[in-house]
Homo-oligomer: A and B are copies of this chain.
Amino acid sequence: MDRLLQSIKIGVNDKIYVKDPESSSLGKRIIEDSIIMIHDMGFDKFTFRKLGDRIGSNESSIYRYFESKHKLLLYLASWYWGWLEYQLVFATNSIANAGDKLGRAIEIVTQTTEEDSSFSHINEVMLNKIVIHEYSKSYLTKEVDQENKEGYFEIYKRLVGRLSEMIAAVNRKYSYPSSLASTVLEGSLHQHFLLDHFSSLTDCQEHTDPTDYFKNLVFNCLNKPNHV
């Protein structure tokens, strides 16, 4: 990706944080290092105290940015989906043919994040792995309905909506565009997880990856099996 990314800002719902972490250097270190730590030790073992120790700051200062580690996870996930949405729109915007557009969209949302844009403090490669391993925990809670009402999942829902519309544009008669879009997004995370931990449960490997699988799946569902 190019330098445009340097200047765009992902618009995370401001109710997710107490103070915008993009507004200070401490905030940026909280984001940068929490990504590394959650990636390395997992969300469950990650604590604000450990993060404070690592960045040479105090636990209480971190609470000035996020009221809980759950909110921090919501923030990281929202940022990731916003970033992916940007990639999606950027890469598909100029494609006129609906089938080509959808094919490109599936590539964007299912492929492994390979490169850190290295323009920001955010390591997208690690963040992608965090989303694969931890995203479900952000909504598999008793508070999900309340938090959904407060808009904490807006970006993700918008992304599913975009994919759903691209699916519908290819075949208006297909009955399940939203279910298929949510299956591709969630299923992609799951296939990548299986690849790492349960390889017998997936056919994806070096030569066939989740992208191939999902393109085949989606275009077969839409009765355009030879499109890509």
Contact = CB atoms under 8 A, between A and B. Distances in A.
Interface string A30-50: 000000000001101100000
A83 interface: no
Contacts of A201: 157, 160, 178-179, 181-182
Contacts of A190: 182-183, 186-187
A190 B156 CA distance: 15
Nearest to A201: B182
Given A142-B45, A204-B179, A208-B176, A153 B187 contact: no
A223 interface: yes
A186 to B, nearest CB: 5
Contact of A203 (B44, B157, B179, B213): B179
Contacts of A139: 197
Contact of A179 (B176, B177, B191): B191
B182 A194 contact: yes
Contacts of A178: 200-203
Interface string A202-222: 111000101001001100110
Interface string A141-160: 11011001000010001001
Contact of A134 (B134, B140, B176, B181): B140
A175 interface: yes
Contacts of A160: 201
Contacts of A137: 136-137, 140
A148 B179 CA distance: 30
9 nearest A-B pairs in the assembled complex, by CB-CB distance: A42-B142, A136-B136, A176-B203, A182-B201, A220-B221, A179-B203, A220-B220, A179-B202, A176-B213
